[in-house]
Structures are given as structure tokens and as C-alpha cells.
Chain A
Amino acid sequence: MIRLIRRRLAVAVPVLFATSVGMFVLGAASPNDPAAQYAGAAAFTASPENLAQIRANWGVDDPLPVQYLRWLGNLAQGDLGWSTSRHQAVAEVIGARAGWTLLLIGVTLLVVLAGSLLVGTIAAYRRGGLFDRGVRAAAYAVESMPVFWLALAAIAVFALGLGWFPAGGLTDVRATGTGVGDVAHHLVLPVAVLAISQAPWFLLFVRDSVADSLRDDHVLAARARGLPGRTVLFGHALRTALLPYLTLIGTHLPELVGGSVLVETVFSLPGLGAVSVQAALGSDFPLLAAITLITTAVVLAANLVTDLAYSAADPRVRVDG
């Protein structure tokens, strides 16, 4: 177990480091002048001396490696910098929004996992049947739909057409606080859209691995012992077929993060995804870099956690490690 963690970190840390270097170099090569951005509209009226002062304060003209190490050092100390697009400390921006993104992704993940487990298992059980073929065809079709398009279609039908759910936002415009019921009502469509767009992957995986495992020796042997169908399915087929499901969650997180960026944008949710798009449109390096790096680190960590969970759930791996 310790060796697994160490081995993963031995790769993950350098990759994260390389990503930060690449991002920094890209940011430095960017044609945007951070000082002018900081000054914002005032840059047009500010004197060249003032701008130079800002540049000197920020150390923008220092050699790149010096700037990089300073940036990294600040990040490590928790100073994430100043957002030029929102005129606010980056840490504040992230702190206020990370929760909503985590909520969106977390709830979506739960819905996707439970739903695809149920539907995929039923399809595997009746493989070749009408349900199986229908589910698979739908999964392939959904897989080719861009998530933002799916979101617009959902808004057109369920928000504008039927009026069941709000078309965007997190709370009702008349609301003064953030009531749980209100937020939940606003999250139904985003979560459903994100879940459906991510589901094909999980669904097809469950369906195929359960279908395969139903022909596994140990499942046939369990049936030959006369165990009830439910016991065979849950105790023998799913237990082994779904162990890799755990690592699948880890490998699929990047897709989920990308999807949440798009869904947050379409539904105007105040999450990290939407704000990173605004940061990108405003060439806001400190905010965008911090969000990208932190998200990357979190996803890498989540990958490690799912791998650990996998090795904890499978006795073969557990003893081996």
C-alpha cells in the first residue's frame, strides 16, 4: 500500500510540477501585459511611470525562473495571487465557488454510478434483448452529443417548454438566501444533463463487464451450486466485475471536470468551471492557473484514492502489496 502511494507520487508530483512549469511559461509567453490588466480600464489613463511601478512591484521584469519560483513559493504558502479579471484575491474567488462545483460533481457522480450500475446490470442480464439493444444504442448516441448541446436541449424542453425546472442559476431570483430545496430544484437539470452525458461510458463498462462475468467460471460454479439468482449476482458476479469500476471513477474524473465547466457555463452556476471560463476570456493568469493547477492536483489525488480503494477492496491486491 505504502509502495503504491510512493510509486504513484513519484510520477504524479513531477507531472504536476511539469504542468505548472508549462503553464507558467505559457503565461509568460502570453501577449497579455499583467500590469495593464491589473490597472484595468485605468491603464489607458495611467502614466507610463505608474505602470512601470506596478511592473516593478510585481517583479514582472525579473528573469523567468525567478518569477516562477516566486509564484510557486507563493502558491505553496497559500498566496494564490490577485485575480485581474475579478479584482479579488484568487483564494477568495476559489473559496466561494469550489463548494458548488464539488456539489455538482459529487451529486452527478453518485447519480451516474447508481444509475449505470442498475441499468448496465439489467442490460447485461438480458443481453441481446430489446432493453439491452435499446440502452446500448442510446448510449452510443449520447456519447456523440456535446454536453453543452444536451444542456441546451434540456433547457428547451424542461425549462422553457414544460416549465418544470429553472433554466439556470442556483437560487430563485426573488430568494434572499440559499434554501436547500431551492438549490436542489435548480440543480436537477444540471446534474441530470451532466450525468446523462457521462453515463454511456460507465453504463457500457458495467454492461460489458457484468455480461462477461456472467460467463466467468466462478459465477457458473456459484450457479451450479444452486445459489439463488440474487446471491449469484450480488455476491459473485458484481463483486468481481465491478472492482475495476473503482479505478474507472478515477480515470473518468477529467471528463467529469470538463463536463462540469460546460454545464456550469450553460446553467450560469457560480462554480469554478464558469469562473475559469470568465478568467480565460479575461486572460486572467493568476486565477486560471490556480484553478487549473488545483483541479489537476485534486484529480490526481482522487485517482490515487480510487486506486487505494481498489486495492483495499480486492484481497488479491491487498495481500500482494
Chain B
Amino acid sequence: MTLLNIDGLSVRFRLRDATVQAVSDHTFAVRRGELLAIVGESGCGKSVLAHALFGLLPRNAEVSGRAILDGVDLIGCGEKRLAREIRGRRLGLVPQSPATALTPVRTGRRLLAETLRAHQRDPALADSLAEQVGLDAAALGKYPFELSGGMAQRLVTALALAPDPALLIADEPTTGLDRPLVDHTLDLLRRRCDSGGTVLLITHDLAAAERVADTVAVMYASRIVEHRPAADVFTAPAHPYTCALLNALPDRAFQPIAGHPPMLTALPAGCAFAPRCTHADGACATLPAGPPVACHHPLVTEAAA
């Protein structure tokens, strides 16, 4: 059963003398209980996608398309409805960079209690939430600047879980954490899906996606180039970019991708990966169809079928 249905979602930013195309024509669905990982290099527009769903983009952003969550179009429903009905309860966010995402003049306990109260939940739940994410009571009484990176990460996760959101979006929740903490966080997300929750994991960490994701959407230069079950993506990548990304991993070929990703202000008309792609030919000057695989020369043909 579909929880989130994104249809033709695009985001661009108008700057003084340029237009940044951050999200291009995304169409995908997230099922209840699914853990979808959106992976891509930093700067490809992943976080913009998350902020677009929350309606928290800066004013110079232009958003088009639809994103239906549980019958409500997040793009068109307006700030009032987003604030009153959607954010927190239906859509939770584990924000990027927890250190700056925490209000500096409040202790963790006060932040948690405030969020619980705002969603008519018992403020006493703060301690059990903290326990769930692995935060002890002493840490809860501290100010954000007194917390280590790992503790701040666990606190923002607890804050996102406090209203018990239908869809949890975790934006780079493992950046800056050491391995055991990464695993702890990922397992938490996995357990949430296993008990009926739905999670959208935004990450540049392929290993993290491989560990917990049901499905993977690979993003390159504002587009989703491959969107398939995780097992397939990691064993038999279909898009040359996915393949190259996997080959860049230290425990695989450890071979970096040649060249640089294009500027989001000057995206090519055709496949954006073509300039760096060994399989590219004349056909790549036009935009490939897809998903599941947006490529004129997919490496695994049955996937495209």
C-alpha cells in the first residue's frame, strides 16, 4: 500500500543571474513499511528533496509537481495545513547536521517535552524515547553544545520520533558518527520499518543503504537515475553511474569516478552522466526514459524491461 506518491516533482532556485535545478522530475512511490534509501554524492539535490516535502525551502525556490502523502498533496496544501497537520505527526525529519539543528539555549529534555506536548503526547515519554535511541538521562539534561556529535545525533532522532510520524525522513543521519553509532542508528531505522513504520533514508553512504534499505533510488545531478530493490542495485547495478559509485567504494574496486559532476546551474539537455560515462554515445544527448533505470545503455537489460 502506497504511503507517499511523488509525481513529477521538480525544484529550482532562482538566483540573481542563474537558475539552480536541484530536483528534476522525480516520480516514485514509497510503500508503507518500506525503507527507501536515496543515495547520491553531496550536492546532487537530495536534501532539497526532503525540504521540499516539508515545505521548508527558502523563498526563491520554485516547486512543481505533486507529492501525495496519505491523500494530502504536500506541495499544494499550503503552509497552514503543513504546520498544523503534516509536520511532525505525519512527516518526521531527522535533520542533517544535528549540532546546528538543536536550539542552543534549550536542554534536550525541554526540547523533547515541548515536541511531545505539541503533539498531545505525554511529556513523560521523553525518557523512554531517549532510551530507545540510546541516550541516557544525564545527557538529556544537557545543552546541545555540551553533547558530543553522536549524542546530538541521537537527540535529533528522538525528537523526530517523538510525534511518532507515519513517514520518517532521515537526512544524512550517519554523517560524522563512528561505526558502532552508525550501525546503531541504522538498526533503529530498520526496526522502525519492521514494526510497520516507513522511512526515507537520504544518504551518500552506500554501505549504510546496503545495510538497511529495501529499495534504493540513486540520484545524480538532480535526477533519479536508478530506482530498484536494494538487493538488485548492489549485486547487479543497471545504471553506469550506480556501477561507478559502487566501484568507488573502498571494499570494492576503490576506483574513483573520473571527472566531476555537472553544475546544477548548467545541466546538459541529455543524460547528465554522459560526459563521465564510458558507455556514452550519440543517443545520450537526449534524456533517457526511466525509472527504474534512466539510461540508454543499461548494464542489466532485464531491469529496464
Contacts and interface: CB of A to CB of B under 8 A. Distances in A.
Interface stretch (A59-67, A102-110, A222-230, A284-292): A222-230
Contacts, number: 88
B163 A218 contact: no
Interface string A190-231: 000000000000000000000000011111111111111101
B89 A226 contact: yes
B156 interface: yes
Contact of A224 (B58, B93, B114, B146): B93
Contacts of A231: 114, 118
Interface centre among A219, A225, A229 (most CB of B within 10 A): A225
A28 B226 CA distance: 86
A227 B115 contact: yes
Given A223-B56, A226-B87, A228-B118, A217 B101 contact: yes
B27 interface: no
Given A218-B102, A239-B105, A316-B104, A224 B95 contact: yes
Interface string A160-188: 00000000000000000000000000000
B88 A235 contact: no
A128 B59 contact: yes
Contact of B93 (A219, A221, A229, A316): A221
Interface of B: 51, 54, 56, 58-59, 83, 86-89, 91-93, 95, 97, 100-106, 114-115, 118-119, 143, 145-146, 156, 159-160, 162-163
A221 B89 CA distance: 14
Contact of A227 (B56, B102, B118, B146): B118
Given A217-B95, A221-B95, A319-B146, A226 B103 contact: no
B145 A225 contact: no
B6 to A, nearest CB: 18
A104 B255 CA distance: 73
Kindly state the interface size class of chain A when it binds its partner.
20 to 34
7 contacts: A215-B58, A225-B160, A226-B115, A226-B118, A235-B106, A314-B105, A315-B143
A315 B83 contact: no
A240 interface: yes
B103 A225 contact: no
Contacts of A227: 88, 114-115, 118
A106 B28 CA distance: 61
Given A218-B103, A220-B95, A225 B54 contact: no
Interface centre among A221, A236, A240, A243 (most CB of B within 10 A): A221
Contacts of A225: 87-88, 92-93, 115, 118, 159-160, 162-163
A316 to B, nearest CB: 5
B142 to A, nearest CB: 10
